[in-house]
Amino acid sequence: MGWLAWQRFRCITNCTLYPDDCISDKLFRTMADLLVSEGYAAVGYNYINIDDCWLSKERGPDGRLQADPERFPYGIKDLAAYVHSKGLNFGIYEDFGNFTCAGYPGVIDNLKLDAETFASWDVDYIKLDGCYAELEQMETGYPEFGLYMNQTGRPMVYSCSWPAYQTEQGIDPNYAVLAEHCNLWRNYDDIQDSYASLRHIIDYFGQKQDNMTPHAGPGHWNDPDMLLIGNYGLSYDQSRMQMAIWAILAAPLFMSVDLRTIRPEHKEILQNTRIIAVNQDPLGIQGQIVYNTSKIEIWTRKITPVQGDQYSYAIAVVSRRDDGYPYRVQVPLRDVGLTNPSGYLVQDLYGDTTENQLLPDDLIDVRVNPSGVVFWRANIVTDLPSVTTIY
């Protein structure tokens, strides 16, 4: 969980025209400050991650990577130290190819040197992109870079991008190999600031879930890309829907928003601790779509607490409808896989904290806004009480 620059600030490098928005030391220190002062760090957002365009166009005389001297006058190690002083972790971006996607030096001929450089800068997280690289080199090159990361002795999270480039060419990624060598990996297209882009990625994860899901778990995650919440392209209901689906998918939660200007209702979504608890559930089981009728989807995820072979669940009822009225959904819990004989204590994660008990034959009975979501947590009940309340 954390904050990442790319979606909101892209590759803005002109600090004369855009002094407050350019990719610079100032921007990342500011966002680190806000992550702490505005309560994001307190609920789990603990990474500040640079993306592309931080580099100088040339390596230094010693062959090492170097930051742009005007935009990062104190260097990356000093910036990392500032981020660490706030109790946060620091992440950085590079590319496996000859160049980064924006045309800065890549790592292809300097894998060991660059891994050592990042470790010497006290980096905690490395995202390795795949522009300007040969596909056939990725399945050996990405693990090799990971090996050099480990040899530095510094623990660093490793985010791989090679499956995203494989899927572009119609190649099915080898998820077992990814889980062996990477902590998380981008599966598909870059997310853009629009509902259409968000739905495109959600649809892909639903279509490919049987291949993806078994390989997700603690230490190795499928990554559907950044949270758009608080930017320009999503409505309030669509923002709530993305947060719910990302929690169901056990996805990394990386905001990419201007924390100086975010609206209170979007901040409330991002800091919803009950939804964050679902996302961060210790079982690490990725959820799936289990129902799809009349443009209504139901996604479920197995979560704690667990008793025997019975799980608790997160349940997201998602509307793809656009007919302008909240659509009523009535589906028995049993039909979406909730079969615990003693039932479940159900709570609306976007509502108050009231819990209501439902049995497997009782209905999910809700009304869902167009392109919106109803998001429940259903904790297993171990003993059936004498009186039940129907939600």
Dist. CA 128–CA 106, nearest whole Å: 9
Q: Does the residue 386 lie in any domain? A: no
pLDDT score, position 387: 39
pLDDT for res 389: 37
Residues 197 and 322 in one domain: no
341 shares a domain with 230: no
Instruction: For residues 336 and 317, state if they share a domain.
Output: yes
Q: Are residues 314 and 250 in the same domain?
A: no
pLDDT at 42: 98
For 321, the domain range is: 288-380
Residues 88 and 48 in one domain: yes
pLDDT at 382: 86
Q: What is the CATH number of the domain that holds 69?
A: 3.20.20.70
Tens digit of pLDDT per residue, the chain (391 long)? 999 999 999 999 999 999 999 999 999 999 999 999 999 999 999 999 999 999 999 999 999 999 999 999 999 999 999 999 999 999 999 999 999 999 999 999 999 999 999 999 999 999 999 999 999 999 999 999 999 999 999 999 999 999 999 999 999 999 999 999 999 999 999 999 999 999 999 999 999 999 999 999 999 999 999 999 999 999 999 999 999 999 999 999 999 999 999 999 999 999 999 999 999 999 999 999 999 999 999 999 999 999 999 999 999 999 999 999 999 999 999 999 999 999 999 999 999 999 999 999 999 999 999 999 999 999 999 865 543 434 3
CA distances from 17 to 20, 21, 51 (A): 9, 9, 20
Q: How far apart are CA 87 and CA 89, in angstroms?
A: 7
Closest CA to 298 of 278, 318, 327, 321: 318
Domain final residue pick, 246, 279, 312: 279
54 touches 24 (CB < 8 A):
no
Please give the positions annotated as active site: 129, 190
What is the C-alpha to C-alpha distance for residues 225 and 239, in angstroms, rounded to an integer? 14
pLDDT reported for residue 175? 95
Q: Does one domain contain both 267 and 319? A: no
| DSSP 3-state of 158 | strand
User: Which spans in the chain are helix H?
Assistant: 6-9, 25-37, 75-85, 111-120, 135-151, 162-168, 175-181, 195-207, 209-212, 236-248, 264-270, 273-279
Say if residue 237 is in the same domain as residue 358: no
Are 8 and 91 within one domain?
yes
The string over 284-293, giving b where at least 16 C-beta atoms fall within 10 Å of a residue's C-beta and e elsewhere, is ebbbbbbbee
Q: What's the number of domains the chain is made of?
A: 2
CATH number for 344? 2.60.40.1180
Whether residues 121 and 179 share a domain: the answer is: yes
In a shared domain, residues 209 and 330 = no
Residue 140, SS3 per DSSP:
helix
Q: How many CB atoms lie within 10 A of CB 44?
A: 16
Same domain flag for 264 and 372: no
In a domain, 87, yes or no: yes
Q: For residue 366, is it within any domain?
A: yes
Domain boundary (249, 279, 309) is at 279
Residue after which a domain boundary falls, among 231, 253, 279:
279
Task: Pick the closest to residue 125 from 252, 275, 216 (CA basis).
Answer: 252
pLDDT at residue 386, rounded to an integer: 40
Is the same domain home to 274 and 295?
no
